Amino acid sequence: MGDGLLYWLLIAIFTLSNSLLLRLHPELARSQFIGLVISGVILALSIFPQVINWRIDYTATSGQLLLDNILVSTIFQNQQPIGLYSHRGHASFVLAAVAVITLVGWQWRWINTRYAAIASILIIPALLLTQTRAGILAFVVAGVYWLYQFPLGKQVRSFMLCTVLVALLFVGAVSLTRNIETLNRFNFDSNTKILKQLTSDRVYLWEISQRGISKRPLLGWGMNGFGTAFPHVKNSKWMKITRLGDFTFDYQGFDGQRGRQALPTVKAHNLILDTILSVGVLGLVSYLSLLGLGLWLVIKSPCRGIEAVVIAYIVFTFTWFECAQYTHLAWWSLSLVGASCVRE
């Protein structure tokens, strides 16, 4: 999921090596841009068939059912469309990021107007069809940032404002119609219901996270911090945790009885909380300092504008987390500081 020392070592190697590569060969930056846009178009095209037929999952068992609403690949009907990923959330951020990259590439004249329009016409509707509010909002915020940072023509501003309006309408519709099971099982007050509805009940995970942070605030619980902390803060009747797996944990109660329970998730679904749970407040300060330095360097460089991808990432991870499927896109955008970004 994007956690662990090996993962972050690979991210560091990728970011620094790409920055060095682009410093030596800045002409490759445009090729990387175009490659990402083409990949985004392919991902968008994979979304549309799944909207028509939810059984398409692009695996060896595509179309085969485990149950009436579950594919053999364990994808549920209400989780489609997922594109070429295993979760529509992953697909949504990639689409949002590539949509922003397309806008920046067009602004830099690395992508001509015709191809940028075709890519946007495919990618933005595919993003909306994922019905993932975090991805849509990430694109909206990054798009508005890009729109007001640079002088653009009236037609471009009108197109972007219409896109933002449609995206916000989609977010509102999904928020009102999405069924959250826990809201039906418990009697919450109206404010709590609204908050849980807007966050898909991530509030529960955040409450557990706060309790875990209070126990180990400085250094955290280690990688996959939420999954490690959860058994220790969930129930005071458990004397000790005897085994901690990826999906379940075993415990022994004060009465000597042993039991097994499932982990709800291994992530708190919030970048700040997940970072503190894993590496503590000290680790969070280091992480934010590094991210802030990267943003500042990009903004001050000739490649200014590409930081909108990082802004999209920060917005997205308010209700998501670091993930190997898409986090590298944010760090790739920061690695462009090594390029001269010569425009045509």
270, 329: one domain: no
137, 25: one domain: yes
Can you tell me the mean pLDDT for 289-315? 93
Of the listed ranges 25-29, 106-110, 176-180, 227-231, the one predicted with least confidence: 176-180
142, 10: one domain: yes
Q: Which residue has the higher pLDDT, 225 or 330?
A: 330
Q: What is the end-to-end Cα distance of the chain in Å, rounded?
A: 39
Has residue 183 been placed in a domain? no
35, 135: one domain: yes
Query: Which residues have C-beta within 8 Å of that of residue 106, sequence separation ≥ 6?
Result: 112, 113, 116
Query: Which residues have C-beta within 8 Å of that of residue 152, sequence separation ≥ 6?
Result: 107, 160
d(CA 316, CA 139): 9
Has residue 239 been placed in a domain? yes
pLDDT at 185 over 70: no
315, 230: one domain: no
Can you tell me the mean pLDDT for 140-166? 80
d(CA 93, CA 105): 18
- Residue 114 has what pLDDT? 94
pLDDT in tens, 73-120: 989 998 899 999 999 999 999 999 999 999 999 989 999 999 999 999
* Percentage with pLDDT > 90 across the chain: 53
pTM of the model: 0.90
Has residue 46 been placed in a domain? yes
Can you tell me the mean pLDDT for 309-317? 96
Confidence tier at 166 by pLDDT (50, 70, 90):
confident
Has residue 35 been placed in a domain? yes
- Residue 167 has what pLDDT? 81
Has residue 171 been placed in a domain? no
- Domain range enclosing 239: 201-294
- Residue 234 has what pLDDT? 79
Number of structural domains in the chain? 2
What is the rounded radius of gyration, in angstroms, for the C-alpha atoms of the chain?
22
142, 103: one domain: yes
283, 327: one domain: no
Can you tell me the mean pLDDT for 165-187? 70
Nearest Cα to 326, choosing from 144, 24, 6, 89? Answer: 89
Q: Which residue has the higher pLDDT, 152 or 306?
A: 306
328, 254: one domain: no
Length of the chain: 344
From residue 315, give the alpha-carbon distance in Å to each of 36, 135, 157, 321: 21, 8, 22, 11
Can you tell me the mean pLDDT for 202-227? 90
- Residue 239 has what pLDDT? 66
Can you tell me the mean pLDDT for 238-265? 81
Q: Which residue has the higher pLDDT, 110 or 236?
A: 110
206, 284: one domain: yes
pLDDT in tens, 275-289: 999 999 999 999 999
> CB neighbours (10 Å) of residue 219?
12
Q: Which residue has the higher pLDDT, 216 or 191?
A: 216
pLDDT at 1 over 60: no
Has residue 186 been placed in a domain? no
64, 117: one domain: yes
Nearest Cα to 90, choosing from 1, 160, 26, 201? Answer: 1
Has residue 173 been placed in a domain? no
Has residue 17 been placed in a domain? yes
225, 90: one domain: no
Confidence tier at 136 by pLDDT (50, 70, 90):
very high
Name the one residue in this structure whose structure tokens are 């949002």. Answer: 96
94, 10: one domain: yes
